[in-house]
Amino acid sequence: MDEEKCQALIVDRERIAGLISKMLTGKLTPDTATDGVKAISKLRDELPRLMVVDVDVPGNGVRLAELVGISPKYRGIPIILTAANPSPDLVLRARNAGASSLLVKPFGPAELLRRVDAALSGVTMAAPPKAAAKAGEARDDVADPAKAPKEEEEEDPAAALKERVRSIEGLPSFPATHTQILELANSEDSSSDEIAEKIELDPGLLATVFKLVNSSYYGFSKKIDSIGLAVTLLGLEEIANMVMAAQVFEKLGSYEEGAGLDLMAFWRHSVGTGFIARAIAKKLQAETESAFLAGMLHDLGKIILDRYFSDYYASVFSVIQAEDKLIVEVEQDVLGVGHAEIGGVLAEEWKFSAAYLNSIMYHHDVRAVRRYQRLVCIVNLANTMCRRLEFGSSGDNQKPDFEEASLERFSLGEKGIQLLTEAAQEELENAESFLSALTT
C-alpha cells in the first residue's frame, strides 16, 4: 500500500473517530475502533501504517501505545496520541510510551495531516521539557514532532524493546540488596557475617528470610533466630537464592486488579517448577546451583502483562477459554509478544544473571538458546512436568508434551522421564511448605 493510501487505525469514541476519519479522506484509508482491546483485535487481522489513539479510550491509550511499542509484531507502527488539555506529566508518559506525538484536542485537518506526515517519515517526540517549563511550553516543545530532530541511524529493535519495557508506567525497580548479596556469595573473600549484615539492613527482607529458614522445608529442630547462623547452616548460595525469591515476590507477588491470572495458582506453579527443576538437576547432576531460581522465575513476564496490561491480557484469557489453547501461543497471536520476551527484558533491567535471563527468555524455545543450554532445558522440562502434574496453574489447562530438544539434550527416554517425574513428585510437598512461608 503506497503512502498516499496507507491504512490508519483510529481509536476513539465512535463520533470522534468518524470525524478524524473524514479529516484523512484522500490521504489515508482509515479504520476505527472504540477501545484498546478492539484495536488489538484489528491489529491481528491487518497491520496499519499509523494509529491515532485517544488517551482516554477504554483500555487506556497510553497502555495501548506501550503494548504496541513492546510487541515485535506491532512495534513499527507509529502512534499519534490525542488528548484534551494534556498535562506535562501526560506529555512525558506519552513520550515514554513511544508515541510519535501528542496532539491536543480540538484540532483541525491541517494540523492532523502535518502530524501524520511527520509520523510516517519517522519523526518522534522530542526530549521532555525542563522542570521549569510551563504546561503550555511543555505542550508546544514536546507534543509537536515537527520540532523534534529526525534520527539519523535506524533504531536497534532489541534496544528499543528494552527501553519500552523500562518505561512501562508503574514498573517497580529491583532493590540493590540482592545484587550485593550475590556479589558477596560469589566472592572468595566474603564471609557469612558480611552477608548477614546486608540482610539485616532490610527488616522486611530479614523477617521473610527467617520465615523461609524456619519453614518445614528446611526442617530444623530448633528455631533459627540468627541470620549469621542461618547463613552458616544453609550456605551463602542458598541464602542468596532465598533473598532473590523473597525480593521478587515482594515486588511482583500481589496486586489488586489484573486480567484474570490466578495469582495463588501462578505462584504455586512457579515455586513448583523451581523445586522440580532442582530435583531434575540433582538427578542429572547438572546446574544444581541455579535450577531452583531459574525455575521459579521463568514466567515473570506473565505478571507484567497481567498487572500492567490487564485489559489486553484479559483478551488472551478469553481466547484460551473459547479455544482451549496454550497461553504462549495465544499471547503471540493476540498481543504480538509473549511472556518470555517481556520477562527476559525485565530480568535484564533488574540485572539478573545471564543464566536466569536465558532461562526466562528461552524456556519455550530451547533450540534457539546459545548459552546455558543445560539450564534452559532443565527449566523447560520442569515447567512441562509441573503442568502435567497439575501443580498450580500456568494460565491454561493444557498438558503439553515434553520438548524433543530437551529430551535429546539429556538422552532421556520413557524410563528417564518416569524417574524424573517420581523425583519431582517427592518435591511438591516441600514446594507447598516454601510457598506457604513466602506468602504468609
210-234 confidence digits (pLDDT tens):
888 988 778 888 999 888 888 888 8
Q: Which residue has better confidence, 149 or 244?
A: 244
Provide mean pLDDT across the span 422-432.
93
In angstroms, the Cα distances linking 399 to 114, 227, 261, 384 are 52, 41, 18, 7
Task: Provide the pLDDT for residue 395.
Answer: 93
Report the distance separating Cα 399 and Cα 289, nearest Å. Answer: 28
Q: pLDDT tens digits, residue range 94-109?
A: 998 889 999 999 999 9
66 has pLDDT over 80: yes
4 has pLDDT over 90: no
Provide mean pLDDT across the span 425-438.
90
Q: 313 near 259, Cβ under 8 Å? A: yes
Ordered structural domains, the chain, with CATH: 3-166 (3.40.50.2300), 173-252 (no CATH), 253-439 (1.10.3210.10)
Q: 212 near 246, Cβ under 8 Å? A: yes
Record the cell numbers describing residue 162, joined without a space: 528494552
Report the distance separating Cα 171 and Cα 21, nearest Å. Answer: 35
Say which range, 22-31, 138-147, 267-276, 350-359, has the weakest mean pLDDT.
Answer: 138-147
Say which range, 76-80, 210-214, 237-241, 403-407, has the weakest mean pLDDT.
Answer: 237-241
Burial class (CB in 10 A: 0-12, 13-18, 19+), 390: exposed
21 pLDDT band, cuts 50/70/90, is very high
Report the 10 Å Cβ neighbour count for 182. Answer: 20
- Reported as type and span, the H/E element at residue 45 is helix 36-45
Task: Provide the pLDDT for residue 352.
Answer: 84
Say which range, 137-151, 360-374, 404-418, has the weakest mean pLDDT.
Answer: 137-151
| Predicted TM-score of the model (pTM) | 0.81
Task: Provide the pLDDT for residue 264.
Answer: 92
Query: For the chain, what percent of residues have pLDDT higher than 90?
Result: 51
- Reported as type and span, the H/E element at residue 338 is none
Could you tell me whether strands 101-105 and 79-84 are parallel, antiparallel, or unpaired per DSSP bridges? Answer: parallel
Quote the DSSP letter at residue 259.
Answer: S
Q: 345 near 162, Cβ under 8 Å? A: yes
Task: Provide the pLDDT for residue 248.
Answer: 86
The sheet with strand 50-54 has its strands ordered as: 29-33, 7-11, 50-54, 79-84, 101-105
Looking only at Cα atoms, what is the longest distance across the chain?
A: 80
Tell me which amino acid residue 426 is.
E
112 pLDDT band, cuts 50/70/90, is very high
Long-range contacts of 128-135 (CB under 8 A, 24+ apart): 128/91, 128/92, 128/95, 129/88, 129/91, 133/88, 135/87, 135/88
Task: Provide the pLDDT for residue 168.
Answer: 80
Tell me which amino acid residue 238 is.
E
Cα torsion 94, 97, 101, 106: sign: negative
Instruction: Quickly tell me which residue has 547452616 as its cell.
Output: 233
Rg over CA atoms, the chain: 24
Report the distance separating Cα 336 and Cα 340, nearest Å. Answer: 12
152 has pLDDT over 50: no
Provide mean pLDDT across the span 418-423.
96
Q: 286 near 377, Cβ under 8 Å? A: no
Task: Provide the pLDDT for residue 272.
Answer: 96
Q: 43 near 67, Cβ under 8 Å? A: no
Say which range, 2-6, 250-254, 427-431, has the weakest mean pLDDT.
Answer: 2-6
Provide mean pLDDT across the span 333-354.
87
188 has pLDDT over 80: no
